[in-house]
Amino acid sequence: MKKNQWFILIFLLLIIGCGEQYIPTSPVLPQHIKKIAILKFESGSAPSEFVEKLKIATADRFVTDRRVAVVNMADADAILKGKISRYLLSPLKYSHAKIATQYQLWVWIDISLYDAVTKKVLWTETRLESKTKYFTDSYDMFAPTTETEAQNIVIEMLARASVKRTIDGWFIASGVSDRL
């Protein structure tokens, strides 16, 4: 063998020998949870149409995911309950005429999953947040230009995070993993 081939062979053996063994992890949801009910989110300051769209988007995400069925509360194995703890729309930039041209929409939700069978809280997530900016004077057809468009972006991010938190665990929604 040539010198380069020995080097490659030793390098590959070192890489193979240093690999970690895969250890499967237990599922996040208990095995008996196959159906979930989603309650309307409580809200203090968020517009009512935002609250309703958030519930619908979250239910749609569960339906699309297909790992648990969305049902009414009487038939549910688990109940997802949430509260919009912050809905903040802030102007960020102004034109020369002192008209707001850029806003930031920042929403926090507190959300919990209850096991309807054991009557226990499976998890609670406080301050699950989403925010986006929009420009009222933008000519970019892909950028949001209204509060409604910004709401839709925030709702989609919160719905996706709620489903990931429920099905896969908190580390997926937050970007941090406690599994090693």
Parse the chain into domains and list their residue ranges: 32-172
Q: pLDDT at residue 3 above 90?
A: no
CB environment 30-64: b (16+ within 10 A), e (fewer): eeebeebbbeebebeebeeebbebbbebbbebbee
pLDDT band at 116 (very low <50, low <70, confident <90, very high): very high
Q: What is the mean pLDDT of residues 134-139?
A: 84
Q: What is the pTM of this model?
A: 0.77
pLDDT at 168: 85
Total length of the chain: 180
pLDDT at 12: 64
pLDDT at 6: 66
Closest CA to 47 of 126, 159, 160, 155: 155
Q: Which two tokens stand for residue 58?
A: 């979250």
Give the homologous superfamily in CATH for domain 32-172: Lipoprotein like domain (3.30.160.150)
Q: Strand 120-135 and strand 100-115: pairing?
A: antiparallel
Q: What is the mean pLDDT of residues 96-106?
A: 93
pLDDT band at 24 (very low <50, low <70, confident <90, very high): very low
Q: What is the mean pLDDT of residues 145-157?
A: 93
Q: Is 87 left (phi over 0), alpha (psi -120 to 50) or beta?
A: beta
Residue whose token pair is 């979930």? 36
Q: pLDDT at residue 113 above 50?
A: yes
- Range with the poorest average pLDDT among 18-22, 123-127, 140-144: 18-22
**Non-local CB neighbours of 134 within 8 Å, separated by 6+ positions:** 102, 103, 105, 143, 144, 145, 146, 147, 149, 150
* Distance from C-alpha of 85 to C-alpha of 151, rounded to nearest angstrom: 15
- Residue 46 is classified by DSSP as S
Residue whose token pair is 């429920």? 166
**Of all residues in the chain, what percent carry a pLDDT higher than 90?**
64
- Residue 82 is classified by DSSP as E
